[in-house]
């Protein structure tokens, strides 16, 4: 990993309120955490136990079977994946690399409790994640090539690097272009209630404010006024879009903004500012909708203001574990607030225990 990447990761930990750093995985080219032999053993156990689904057609020998399985998922396209998981024209997506699998499971348990798990598509940012998720939950993970591992070698400022950082809006744009509505979530989120009833009307793009200051319950659903840096602080962690021209326009603008505002040591940007600039530039032409803060509070509010949490009990819908840096600290904070479900409820996840 280049020193530059390391630097970006560090600045992301410091400045980036969402955690999904698809940059690093030491397992990127391995087929599974067990290696090939382990995978074969696992597969044979699964066959003996009869738990392999028809999705994983195993023809003659086990060996060729696993080859078929691997190449099947390697070739699984976004169009196939989305048409398999979408319900009522809508998919819920996240983008996950291997270190975030425990967060993925926590998030999935909470979604399963709201009975929306069937429309979840995991965008795997490495092959290990692709195979792991599809092995446990066939058809629910896809890898959109090129895999970022090849890209991480690129240095900052290169086109390859920009291509890499613009992966998220590209994925979302592709899904919109396939004709589906899409909800994107970072996986350090947890659902306490069903968010879909909050997606009122037929606006192009729905999003949440990343600020921590308490707003009145009846705050406006307009894009907020720009803050100190001349832009808004909308979170790129939770976005819902209808498959409309307006939503596609925002995604294209986001991609453009990422390309036109290169990362620099002084600016320390990540892709959230670019999303905010994209909203700023398209605000006049696109129908934007700010979701209610009480239902979708930032981590800076939910985890730091007990008075507010008590006073608004029962009104929270999705909680974001941001405004904190580090994997272990996030897990500890979820545990402290009774929101780390994987210890006791992993069987409620479609992935089971990982
Ligand atoms: C399907 O989508 C439409 C439009 O988005 C919505 O009004 C309807 O409630 C949805 N139906 C179900 C069963 O989710
Ligand atoms: C970056 O993306 C563009 C457009 O998708 C592509 O033409 C180009 O080859 C990519 N460059 C690198 C270095 O990945
Ligand atoms: C919210 O309620 C207050 C007091 O009832 C009122 O003065 C204000 O105009 C309302 N704001 C909006 C945006 O509706
Ligand atoms: C867009 O940003 C500019 C510069 O900060 C600001 O003056 C303008 O009000 C913003 N527009 C919207 C719609 O937020
Ligand atoms: C915490 O929430 C209470 C109740 O909404 C509010 O009055 C107070 O200003 C908040 N404190 C901070 C530090 O934002």
pLDDT in tens, 153-186: 445 556 655 666 678 999 999 999 999 999 999 9
Residue 59, exposed/middle/buried by CB under 10 A (0-12, 13-18, 19+)?
exposed
Residue 186, exposed/middle/buried by CB under 10 A (0-12, 13-18, 19+)?
buried
Write out the H or E segment, with its range, that includes residue 239.
strand 234-241
**313: CB partners within 8 A, 6+ apart:** none
Mutate which of 215, 217, 297, 305 for ligand 5? The one with the most ligand atoms within 8 Å of its CB, which is: 305
CA of 297 to the centre of ligand 5 (A): 13
User: What pLDDT score was predicted for residue 148?
Assistant: 73
Residue of higher predicted confidence among 58 and 236 = 236
Cα–Cα dist 267/40, whole Å: 48
Domain boundaries 3-27+85-119+152-348, corresponding CATH code: 3.90.550.10
Single out the residue of 91, 99, 129, 128 nearest to residue 19, CA to CA.
99
Nearest ligand (C-alpha, residue 216):
3
Cα–Cα dist 96/113, whole Å: 21
Percent of the chain with pLDDT strictly greater than 70 = 74
Arithmetic mean of pLDDT over the chain = 83
Q: Quick one: DSSP state of residue 94?
A: E
**169: CB partners within 8 A, 6+ apart:** 251, 254, 255, 258, 271, 275
User: What pLDDT score was predicted for residue 32?
Assistant: 43
Sign (positive or negative) of CA dihedral 331, 130, 138, 116: positive
Cα–Cα dist 181/175, whole Å: 8
Nearest ligand (C-alpha, residue 217):
3
Q: What is the mean pLDDT of residues 91-105?
A: 95
Q: Helix/strand/coil (H, E, C) string of 231-266?
A: CCCEEEEEEEECCCHHHHHHHHHHHHHHHHCCCCCC
Cα–Cα dist 277/272, whole Å: 9
Q: Helix/strand/coil (H, E, C) string of 153-214?
A: CCCCCCHHHHHHHCHHHHHHHHHHHCCCEEEEECCCEEECCCCHHHCCCCCCEEEEECCCCC
Residue of higher predicted confidence among 7 and 69 = 69
Specify the residue with its C-alpha closest to ligand 5, atom 9: 214
Instruction: For the chain, count helices (H), then strands (E).
Output: 15, 9
User: What pLDDT score was predicted for residue 108?
Assistant: 98
Nearest ligand (C-alpha, residue 161):
2
Specify the residue with its C-alpha closest to ligand 5, atom 14: 213
pLDDT in tens, 114-166: 999 999 999 998 999 999 999 999 999 999 998 876 555 445 556 655 666 67
Q: What is the mean pLDDT of residues 53-72?
A: 57
Collapse the DSSP code of 90 into the 3-class scheme (helix H, G, I; strand E, B; otherwise coil) and give the result.
strand
Ligand 2 binding pocket includes 163 (Cβ within 6 Å) = yes
Cα–Cα dist 219/89, whole Å: 30
Mutate which of 209, 214, 300 for ligand 5? The one with the most ligand atoms within 8 Å of its CB, which is: 214
The pLDDT-based confidence of 2 (bands split at 50, 70, 90) is: very low
CA of 286 to the centre of ligand 4 (A): 14
Collapse the DSSP code of 120 into the 3-class scheme (helix H, G, I; strand E, B; otherwise coil) and give the result.
strand
């Amino acid at each position: 990993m280049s020193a530059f990447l390391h630097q970006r990761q560090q600045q992301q930990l410091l400045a980036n309120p969402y955690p999904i750093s698809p940059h690093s995985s030491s397992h990127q080219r391995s087929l599974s955490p067990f290696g090939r032999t382990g995978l074969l053993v696992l597969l044979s156990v699964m066959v003996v136990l009869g738990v392999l689904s028809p999705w994983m057609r195993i023809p003659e020998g086990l060996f060729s079977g696993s080859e078929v399985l691997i190449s099947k998922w390697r070739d699984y396209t976004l169009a196939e994946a989305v048409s398999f998981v979408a319900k009522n024209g809508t998919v819920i997506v996240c983008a996950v690399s291997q270190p975030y699998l425990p967060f993925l499971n926590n998030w999935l348990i909470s979604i399963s409790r709201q009975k929306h798990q069937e429309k979840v598509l995991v965008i795997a940012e490495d092959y290990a994640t692709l195979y792991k998720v599809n092995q446990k939950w066939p058809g629910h993970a896809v890898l959109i090539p090129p895999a970022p591992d090849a890209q991480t070698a690129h240095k900052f400022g290169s086109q390859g690097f920009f291509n890499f950082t613009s992966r998220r809006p590209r994925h979302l744009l592709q899904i919109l272009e396939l004709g589906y509505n899409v909800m994107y979530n970072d996986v350090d989120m947890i659902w306490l209630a069903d968010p879909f009833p909050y997606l009122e009307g037929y606006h192009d793009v729905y999003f949440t404010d990343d600020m921590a200051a308490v707003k009145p319950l009846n705050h406006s659903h307009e894009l907020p006024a720009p803050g100190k840096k001349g832009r808004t602080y909308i979170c790129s962690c939770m976005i819902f879009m209808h498959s409309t021209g307006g939503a596609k326009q925002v995604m294209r603008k986001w991609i453009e903004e990422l390309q036109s505002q290169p990362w620099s040591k002084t600016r320390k940007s990540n892709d959230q500012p670019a999303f905010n600039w994209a909203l700023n530039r398209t605000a006049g032409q696109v129908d934007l909708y700010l979701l209610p803060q009480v239902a979708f509070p930032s981590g800076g509010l939910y985890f730091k203001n007990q008075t507010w949490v008590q006073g608004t009990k029962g009104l929270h819908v999705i909680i974001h574990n941001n405004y904190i840096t580090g994997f272990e600290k996030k897990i500890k904070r979820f545990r402290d607030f009774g929101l780390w479900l994987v210890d006791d409820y992993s069987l409620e996840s479609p992935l089971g225990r990982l």
